[in-house]
Structure 1
Amino acid sequence: MARFTFRLPDIGEGIAEAEIVAWHVKVGDRIEEDQQVADMMTDKATVEMESPVSGTVVELAGEVGDQVAIGASLMVVETDEAVAEDAPVTEAPVSEAVEEQVEAETPGVPVVEAPAPVRAEPVEAPAPTEVVAQPFDTLRANGAEEQAPAAKQVLASPAVRARAKDLGVDLSEVKHDGQHIRHADLDAYLRYGSGQGYHAPHASRAREDEAVKVIGMRRRIAENMAAAKRAIPHFTYVDEIDMTALEAMRADLNANRGARPKLTMLPFLIVAICRTLPDFPMLNARYDDEGGVVTRHGRVHMGMATQTDAGLTVPVIRDAQDMNVWQLASEIGRLAEAARTGKIKSEELQGGTITITSLGPLGGIATTPVINRPEVAIIGPNKIVERPVFVGDDIVRAKLMNLSISCDHRVVDGWDAASYVQALRKLLETPVLLFAD
């Protein structure tokens, strides 16, 4: 018998430490080689750590929320055979995934650097097993419940499982509306009867106060949101755009798309943004606070705010200026799927020069998005609504959308932002110009 110290391997260029977001083993557990033992978060991606040896766990580095330095001990294992303690640090097989956790979608920023070590209170994270739960019952108009569909296997994220365990909730009793049990489903379970089924709102009862530790991706989002608001003097400009012609064009293209991906409004918006940025180089830029230097980029690496179960992530569409709407639609779909399924790569979350963020079908009259630091501008299209408008003396139907842009006032003046949106407006209201040379 011998003890083997599994040290945290180098899991990314420039990464000095990683946060423990979930343990899948505990002291005393028997583990096998290549078994997943922990999830470590770096740069908004969760890296699954696998044991390089078989044996019994005798020591763990810390609790969920703790930071572990690269090369430091992550776990000590008592092995069946002698393993040299001075052997080179084992590069454990890793795969990147986005930790799952639901939050309301709000504009956010990607993590630029890991936060300083913080000691968190112990939170036991249960093993990442699949749980079986029932989808939401459909509520009838009079408040009675209909029969739920047959049970199916779904996933619950480590954060949801940990929270449910702390609350003493059996996830198999939590009904849901999707493939994963989310925090919102757990909230609804706690609010509407705790296992007694979903009832009309008047039947709800007061919930106990709940203290939720801010760790993992949510902590990184919180820190970077705070840093962006603290360091950047924001201002937001909003204007109304008539999307009627563009919506008609999009419908025609989708009707004749063949095997190509279905077009949402996002690819058209990105094309318009890329076509207008050359005349407004101060917007496609990054600001180095410490060096006092603004770098105006010639290429457009478009950040795309994407809501996942883990929180808001910002995959980057590289060289968006070289893509047409079909290519953009494919890349948007690929990156969004990779982010939501945990297959996004670290390099696909870095290097953005300007960001677009949308609440999608949730819409809203207007938004004031937070800039994706160190970028200097973020664009937020809002919900398209049909309203009557005057055309001469006539009243006609029109599909209107408010477009928001938030800018760093150290770099961008209000006149620049307003002028840029007017240039965008011209392209979007005359969509044939999007395809003209």
Structure 2
Amino acid sequence: MSLFEMKLPDVGEGVAEAELVEWLVAVGDRVTPDTVVAEVLTDKATVEVSSPVTGEVAALHGEPGDVLAVGGTLIGIETDSDAVASRPEDSIDAPSETDEATSVPKDASDSTISDAAALPPPNGRASSADRPSAAPAVRSRASDLNLNLGSIEGTGSGGRILHADLDRVLVDRGSGPLGRQTSSRPAADFDGRRIVAVRGVRRRIAERLSDAWREIPHITYVDDIDVTELEQLRVTLNMRSGERTERLTLLPFIARAVVLAVAELPELNAHYDHPAETLTTFGAVHIGIATQTDDGLRVAVVRHAEQRSVADLAAEIGRVTGLARDGSATRADLSGSTITITSLGAIGGIATTPILNPPEVAIVGVNKMETRPVWRDGTFQPRQKLNLSSSFDHRMVDGWVAATFVQHIKRSLETPALLFVDDI
């Protein structure tokens, strides 16, 4: 036998480090090339890392919450033979459309594969093929509630287990509303204080927002939009379509208006690289949709919004935000945006001050729609209005440009026919 030191593989282009979320094996466990040994978190997605060899776990390097460098030693494995040939990139479950792919070393022999297939799961643990699919936050909550994920039917994409599935089990057991108050964790001390380690997605969010706020001089521009006619059109289109298509919200119309606005001002559909002192503008409009999930805020990406109709935008927004919410989004689903829209829906308030999603130079914030009295034609009339609160990187975007951009969006939304005419 020989000791094989498995390195943390490259988990995505440009990623130099990743946070260790959870060990899925322990010292003494048997592993094969299809055994998922750990979950790690990049700035975009949680990724499963698999062993590239067959053997016994000899050492684990790091604790959950540690930030590990790509190429650093992750785990030591006593292999079954002295000859071990593998590459670090062979030990990652590369994100795919299902995010459920497993990895087999490219140079593994037939005998190694057949031996692996004959071995039982280490210490009774399920292989990656049998292991229930669930986000780390769902696994943690299930553990707190002493729920066996293997016995729960997942309703998410590809059978992924969601928080709602845990809630259903708890309600069936009569554990109270959603069972969210039940936990095996230590109770808070007598004065109600509770200290929780900030890890995972929340830590990444904190780091990125701190960097963005510290490094980028923001300018926020707020204007109100009269969406009375647009709302009437939206309701009419939904009534005509019935159940045949994705129900239209205001969001796809706003996304279409953003596409038209950046066609006039392409410097808003751009990335600014401060160290290199370069501004990259894009012909393709990849719109990020800020999405609240159980794991924290994620930005799901609608690619090539400039090529999509309003109906297509609605369907794609629903698809990518759904993947983000149920934890099945891949890194590709959560990266590559060129401009972002953030909306709090009905609780959106009067105005917000959105923080940019670097390296983008613009973000459009949507506040709640409400009926307001407006003086028109010598009388007050009820009109449906909402505010847009949009922030810009003031290093690249002057106030006049920011205002002009929002006015382009306003014109399109207040005259909805413009959303469907490409040459105006």
- Scaled by the length of structure 1, the TM-score of the pair is 0.74
Q: Hey, what's the Cα distance between the residues in 1 that align with 2:339 and 2:64?
A: 33
The AA in structure 2 aligned to 1:8 is L
Alignment of 1:327-406 (within 5 A): 327-406=312-391
Which of 390, 393, 413 is residue 408 of structure 1 equivalent to? 393
Query: Is contact 1:3–1:82 with CA below 8 Å preserved after alignment?
Result: no
Q: Give, in whole Å, the separation in 1 of the partners of 2:28 and 2:163.
A: 37
Give 1:158's aligned amino acid: P
SS of residue paired to 1:278: helix
Q: Per-residue deviation at 1:367?
A: 0.9
Q: Is the 8 A contact 2:11 2:92 kept in 1?
A: no
Letter in 2 for 1:22: E
**Displacement after TM superposition at 1:413 (Å):** 2.1
Q: Secondary structure at the match of 1:256?
A: helix
2:27 aligned with 1:13, yes or no?
no
CA distance in 2, matches of 1:95, 1:179: 26
Q: Counterpart in 2 of 1:57?
A: 57
Q: Which has the higher contact order (CA 8 A, sep 6+)?
A: 1
- Does 2:156 match 1:178? no
Structure 1 position 420, deviation (Å): 2.3
- Pick from 205, 210, 215 the counterpart of residue 226 of structure 1: 210
Mapped to 2, the partners of 1:435 and 1:24 lie a distance apart of 51
Match of 2:227 among 243, 264, 275: 243
Q: Which runs of 5+ in 1 are unaligned?
A: 98-126, 129-153, 195-204
Q: What is the correspondence of 1:111-122 to structure 2 with a 5 Å cutoff?
A: none
> Bigger shift: 67-76 or 226-235?
67-76
Decide whether the 8 Å contact of 2:265 with 2:405 is kept in 1.
yes
1:434 deviates by 1.2
Contact 1:96–1:343 under 8 Å retained in 2: no
1:429 corresponds in structure 2 to 414
Determine if contact 1:18/1:42 at 8 Å carries over to the other structure: yes
Quote how far apart the aligned CAs of 1:384 are.
0.7
Q: Deviations over 1:312-343 (max 9, x none)?
A: 11122222112110111121122112222333
Aligned length: 365
Report the Cα offset of residue 248 of structure 1.
Answer: 0.7
Is the counterpart of residue 34 in structure 1 residue 18 in structure 2?
no
Structure 1 residues 25-76: Cα deviation after superposition (integer angstroms, max 9, x where no partner): 2223445552322101223211112234454422101101223333433222
CA distance in 2 between partners of 1:390 and 1:88 (Å): 70
In the alignment, structure 1 residue 314 sits paired with structure 2 residue 313 = no
CA distance in 2: counterparts of 1:87 and 1:156, whole angstroms: 28
Identity %: 47
Matches within 5 A, 1:175-324: 178-179=164-165, 188=181, 208-257=192-241, 259-324=244-309
Q: What's the CA shift string for 1:202-254, capped at 9, x where partnerless? A: xxx97632222222222221111111111111121111111111011011111
Q: 1:381 to 1:180 in 2, by over 3 A?
A: farther
Q: What do you get for the CA RMSD once the two structures are aligned?
A: 3.4
Distance 1:179 1:2, change over 3 A: same
Once the two structures are TM-superposed, the CA of residue 379 in structure 1 deviates from its matched residue by 0.4
The structure in which a higher percent of residues are helix is 2
User: Aligned partners of 1:412 and 1:96: how far apart in 2?
Assistant: 35
CA distance 1:365–1:42, shift in 2 (3 Å): same
Question: Structure 1 residues 413 and 62 mapped into 2: Cα distance closer, same or farther (>3 Å)?
Answer: same
Alpha-carbon separation, structure 2, partners of 1:346 and 1:396:
48
Offset, 1:2:
5.0
Q: What is the one-letter code of the residue matched to 2:57?
A: V
